[in-house]
A and B are shown apart, each in its own frame.
Chain A
Amino acid sequence: MIEGLYQALTLSTLLWLTVGVMIGMVVGTLPGLTATMGTALLVPFTFALPTGEGIAMLGGLYVCAMFSDAIPACLVNTPGTPAAMATAFDGHPMTLQGRGQEAIVASCFSSALGTVFGAGCYLLLAWPLMAIALKFGPPEFCWLGVFALTIIGSLAGDSILKGLGGAAIGLLISCVGISHGNELSRFTFDIPPLQGGVSLVAGLIGIFAIPQVLTMVSELRRKEFIAEYKPKSGETLKTIKKVMEHPWHVLRSSAIGSFIGILPGAGSPIAALVSYNEAIRWAKDKSQFGKGDLRGVTASEIANNAAAPAAMIPLVTLGVPGSSPAAVIAGALMLRGLNPGPELFQNDGALVYSFGWSLLFAGIVTFILGSLFAPLLVRIIRIPLRLLAPLIMLLATIGAYAIRNNIFDVYIMLGLGVFVFLVKRLGFHPGPIGLGLILGPIIEPSLIQALYISDALGVGKVFFTGTINISLIVLTIVSVGLVAWSRRKDAIQERESTSAKS
Chain B
Amino acid sequence: MQRLLDRDLVTGLVLLCVYALFVADSSSDPKDWIFPILANYVILIIGIVLFARGAFALIVKRLPDILQLSQEERAAHTDVLVFFLIVLAYMFIMYGLGFWLSSWLMLSITSIYLTLDKTPRNIRLAMVVPLGTCIACYYAFLYFFYVPFPRATWWIGFMPD
A residues near B, CB below 8 A?
A: 33, 37, 41, 161-162, 164-165, 168-169, 171-172, 175, 179, 181-182, 184, 186-187, 214, 217-222, 385-387, 389-391, 393-395, 397-398, 401-402, 405, 407, 410-411, 414, 418, 421, 423, 425-428, 436, 440, 443-444, 447-448, 451-452
Contact call A181/B39, Cβ cutoff below 8 A:
no
In addition to A221-B72, A386-B111, A447-B34, 15 A-B residue pairs with Cβ atoms within 8 Å of each other are A33-B145, A162-B46, A165-B43, A182-B31, A187-B36, A220-B116, A386-B116, A390-B111, A390-B114, A391-B107, A394-B133, A407-B150, A418-B84, A421-B80, A448-B31
- Are A218 and B146 in touch, CB under 8 angstroms? no
Bound complex: CA of A414 vs CA of B15, how far in Å? 20
Could you list 15 A-B pairs, sorted by A, with CB under 8 Å?
A: A41-B146, A169-B18, A187-B22, A386-B116, A386-B126, A387-B130, A389-B114, A390-B111, A391-B130, A395-B137, A405-B148, A426-B14, A426-B67, A440-B35, A451-B34
Give A391 to B73 CA distance when docked, in angstroms: 23
Residues of B near A395 (CB, < 8 A) are 137
B152 to chain A, nearest CB (A): 14
What's the least CB distance linking B26 to chain A, in Å? 10
Most buried by A among B35, B72, B145: B35
For A403, the closest partner residue in chain B by CB is: B147
B22 to chain A: which residues have CB within 8 Å?
172, 175, 187
> How close is A215's CB to chain B, nearest CB, in angstroms?
9
Name the CB-closest residue of B to A33: B145
- Contact among A402, A421, A444 with B35 in the assembled complex (CB-CB below 8 Å): A444
Q: A217-B114, A402-B141 are in contact. Are A391 and B133 (CB under 8 A)?
A: yes
Determine if B76 and A219 form an interchain contact, defined as CB atoms under 8 angstroms apart.
Answer: yes
Whole-angstrom distance between the Cβ of B11 and the nearest chain A Cβ:
5
- State in angstroms the CA–CA spacing of A217 and B76 once bound together: 7
Per-residue contact bits, chain B 30-59, to A (CB 8 Å; 1 contact, 0 not): 011111100110110011011000000000
Q: Which residue of B lies closest to A161 (CB)?
A: B46
Residue from B39, B94, B147 within 8 A of A405 (CB atoms) = B147
Main SS at interface, chain B? helix
- Within 8 Å CB of A186, what residues of B? 24-25, 32-33, 36
Q: Chain B nearest CB: distance from A40 CB in Å?
A: 10
Which single member of A165, A184, A389, A425 contacts B32 (CB below 8 Å)? A184
Q: Which of B67, B76, B148 contacts A218 (CB 8 A)?
A: B76
Choose among B11, B40, B125 the residue with the greatest number of A CB atoms under 10 Å from its CB.
B11
Min CB distance, B20 to chain A, in Å?
12
The CA of A197 and the CA of B21, in the complex, are separated in Å by 16
Query: With A172-B43, A217-B114 in contact, is A394–B137 under 8 Å at CB?
Result: yes
* Among B22, B75, B134, residue most surrounded by chain A Cβ atoms (within 10 Å): B22
B94 shortest CB reach to chain A, Å: 8
Q: Nearest A residue to B72 by beta-carbon distance?
A: A221
B112 vs chain A, min Cβ distance (A): 9
Q: A220-B116, A387-B126 are in contact. Are A426 and B10 (CB under 8 A)?
A: yes
Q: Are B79 and A161 in contact (CB under 8 A)?
A: no
Which residues of B57-103 are within 8 A (CB) of A? 67, 72-73, 75-77, 79-80, 83-84, 87-88, 91, 94, 103
Given A220-B76, A398-B141, A426-B11, also A171-B39 (CB < 8 A): yes
Distance A436 CA – B42 CA, assembled complex (angstroms): 13
B residues within 8 Å of A by Cβ?
A: 7, 10-11, 14-15, 18, 21-22, 24-25, 27-29, 31-36, 39-40, 42-43, 46-47, 49-50, 67, 72-73, 75-77, 79-80, 83-84, 87-88, 91, 94, 103, 106-107, 110-111, 114-116, 125-126, 129-130, 133-134, 137, 141, 144-150
Instruction: Find the A residue at minimum CB distance from B113.
Output: A386
Bound complex: CA of A219 vs CA of B75, how far in Å? 10
- Cα-based distance from A410 to B31 in the complex (angstroms): 31
A75 to chain B, nearest CB (A): 17
B75 CB, nearest partner CB in chain A, Å = 6
A221 to B125, CA, bound (A): 19
* B146–A217 CB distance below 8 A: no
Residue of B nearest to A447 (CB): B35
Whether A414 contacts B33 by the Cβ 8 Å rule is: no
Closest to B10 in A: A426
| Residue from the list A41, A168, A407, A414 in contact with B42, Cβ < 8 A | A168
- CB-defined contacts of A451 to chain B, threshold 8 Å: 31, 34
B-side contacts of A402, CB under 8 Å: 141, 145, 147
Compute how far the CA of A421 lies from the CA of B21 in the bound complex, rounded to whole angstroms: 19
Q: Which of B35, B79, B80, B134 contacts A443 (CB 8 A)?
A: B35
A183 → chain B closest CB, angstroms: 9
Residues of B within 8 A of A394 (CB): 103, 106-107, 133-134, 137
Docked complex Cα distance between A451 and B115 (Å): 57
- Residue contact B80 to A217, C-beta cutoff 8 Å: yes
Contacting pair A389 B83 (CB below 8 A): yes
Q: Which residue of B lies closest to A41 (CB)?
A: B145
Tell which of B24, B67, B79, B88 touches A220, judged by Cβ atoms closer than 8 Å.
B79
- Contact between chains at B79 and A398 (CB < 8 Å): no
The reply to whether B32 and A390 contact each other, CB–CB distance below 8 Å, is no
Q: Which residues from B are CB-within-8-Å of A427?
A: 7, 11
Contact between B110 and A168 (Cβ–Cβ < 8 Å)?
no
Which one of B35, B80, B116, B148 contacts A448 once the chains associate, using CB atoms below 8 Å?
Answer: B35
**Closest B-chain residue to A386, C-beta based?**
B114
- A contact residues around B103 at 8 Å (CB): 394, 397
